[in-house]
Amino acid sequence: MTKQRWLTSALALALLMTLASMVSAEGPQPQSPTDVNQTVILPFDGTVSTPGTALGVNNTGTGQSAVGVAGRTDQGYAGVVGYSATRYGVFGLSVSAAEAGVFGRNDGTGIGVWGKSSNGYGILAESGLKYGLWAKSSNLQAVRAESGNDVGIYSTTGANGRASVYAEHTGTQPGQGVVGIAAVGQGVYAQSNNGVAVAAIGATGDAIDAVTTSTSGAGVYGHNDSGNPGAGVRGLSQGGNGVHGIGVNSNGVKAESTNSNGLEATTSAGDQSAVYAHYDGSNSGNGVYTTANKGNAVYAVSNNGLGVYGKGRNEPGVYGEGRSSDGIQAIGSSGGSSGIYAKFDGSQEDGNAGYFDGRVEVTGTLTKGAGSFKIDHPLDPANKYLYHSFVESPDMMNVYNGNIVTDASGEATVAMPDYFEALNRDFRYQLTVIGQFAQAIVGQEISGGKFVIKTDKPNVKVSWQVTGIRHDAYATAHPIVVEEEKPANLKGTYIHPDLFGAPDTQSEGLATRPDLVKRIEASKAEEAKAAQSLAVAPQAAPTHTPDTIATPLRPKSAD
């Protein structure tokens, strides 16, 4: 035997003895080295039947170069192969506070540790104090585990505050600490009986990045089967988005529920939103798009603020469209409030608090500062408008008029509508003779829905006008009060404060809505800041974008 082969055999024997001493808990200790043949001829293949260790190696040396068993192959399949029909193929135990029971390293493009099982665990990792499995890779997968019928990786830890599996990507290029891929089931499946099933932290990027190429699957799918209140997916962020969803050709986030809320969001931070949705596309799109088959597509309740707040910089702040019902329904239920309050925060010549394109129906009393009709000018409809003012009266007055010609005896009977006396009271008359000098009088006042005109000459044309004061049920219940004191909370305010040299905050509308004043001021400040920011620097790009972004698609209408 050459000296080189003898040294190699001695080293192999020493390494195996170290392993045997480390796994003593698995069986009896090996015999003393003095009772073991010190010479091993390579290649070596032996079989023994013993309840203890078949081959043990003990290395009493120190330093990083001293190992119990070292396996290496430069061209073959594996440096170390362990096989067991009932337990562990390879079992590594370390009592060091900082070192590993099993350490696998690959300096090429392969895998440091690869566990594969046809019917059990590919890798089983347990820890009582620190990490059950700690894997690190600079370029490829830190851990790759495959299983034909069971779990590829199974890891448990009993240490508080420690991870059963800890994966870290330290490369300088984008990579993943954990990648889960499944041909049929879940790429990553996590379960917790008394805590968070998955906890992910991203220092500068995404804590979890999930991608699916399925036409019906989800990048992230979370469900709670407890039957009790709980979250399928919960996102928490100290300084950014708790949950951030991006959809290239479909929904960024889709939430469904069978018996409860599809999506519930809460926040206790001042001036922040429980749900914030932003559309970054260049085409028409939606920050929030909701549909409902029967109930409310959006239902919002606020105990001390706005139920819904909409703001549009270049488009409407709130847009409502009803195909077979109302586009917008608004109800005010407290004294002094309105179902809809609209204010135009500009000069009266620039815009309107409300613009109605079509018929407008008001079932209650309409109160206004002034009134007129506005139409395209009959003589120049393309370039001019024509206005006429309303005829005002302190009474709820109706006006009726017409022309009639008296007969040969100088009499004419004017018939009024059949509802005239049911609608009106306190009748007043105006008569004007046309075409000749004659006298005309009301020969008989209204009775039975008609009145009589008499002239001192026959065949006289008379123009007549009759007015009446409404006394129908609504007018009787809601008469027009010509003069009244302002209520206590509106004294010192004005309908039009600018006409009396008072500030806009003394208008009736804003004086009773202090929160609206704050919102208007905050909105103006925000707009000024945004304008200044755009003037100084271009708008920053989103912090996270997919590798390829197609043109976002607007959700299809239910029609």
Condensed to tens digits (0 to 9), the pLDDT of residues 318-347 reads 777 777 778 787 777 776 677 787 877 765
Does 150 have pLDDT greater than 60?
A: yes
Does 84 have pLDDT greater than 70?
A: yes
pLDDT attached to residue 147: 62
Q: How many C-beta neighbours within 10 Å does residue 427 have?
A: 17
- Among 2, 557, 20, 551, residue whose Cα is nearest residue 281: 551
State how far the Cα of 22 lies from the Cα of 58, in Å rounded to an integer: 9
State how far the Cα of 374 lies from the Cα of 390, in Å rounded to an integer: 11
Does 221 have pLDDT greater than 60?
A: yes
Q: Is the dihedral of CA 349, 350, 353, 358 positive or negative?
A: positive
Where is pLDDT greater, at 125 or 449?
Answer: 449
For range 148-164, the mean pLDDT: 67
> Please, which pLDDT band fits residue 177 given cuts at 50, 70 and 90?
low
pLDDT attached to residue 164: 67
What's the DSSP call for residue 554?
P
Core vs surface per residue 260-294: b (16+ CB within 10 A) or e? eeeeeeeeeeeeeeeeeeeeeeeeeeeeeeeeeee
Average pLDDT, the chain: 75
pLDDT attached to residue 182: 66
- Among 504, 469, 508, 503, residue whose Cα is nearest residue 486: 508
pLDDT attached to residue 558: 41
- With tokens 């890798």, the residue in question is 123
Where is pLDDT greater, at 486 or 278?
Answer: 486
Q: Which helix (H) or strand (E) holds 386?
A: strand 385-389
Does 473 have pLDDT greater than 50?
A: yes
Q: Which CATH number fits domain 397-477: 2.10.25, 2.60.120, 3.30.70, 2.40.30?
A: 2.40.30
pTM above 0.85, yes or no: no
Which residues, 6+ apart, have CB-to-CB distance to 4 below 8 Å?
none
For range 48-59, the mean pLDDT: 78
Helix ranges, 167-252 (H): none
Query: What are the tens digits of pLDDT across the range 508-521?
Result: 888 888 887 787 77
Q: Where are the domains of the chain?
A: 1-73, 112-191, 397-477, 490-532
pLDDT attached to residue 534: 72
State how far the Cα of 113 lies from the Cα of 80, in Å rounded to an integer: 11
> Please, which pLDDT band fits residue 120 given cuts at 50, 70 and 90?
low
**Strands (DSSP E) along 99-183, which ranges?**
114-117, 123-127, 133-137, 144-147, 153-157, 165-169
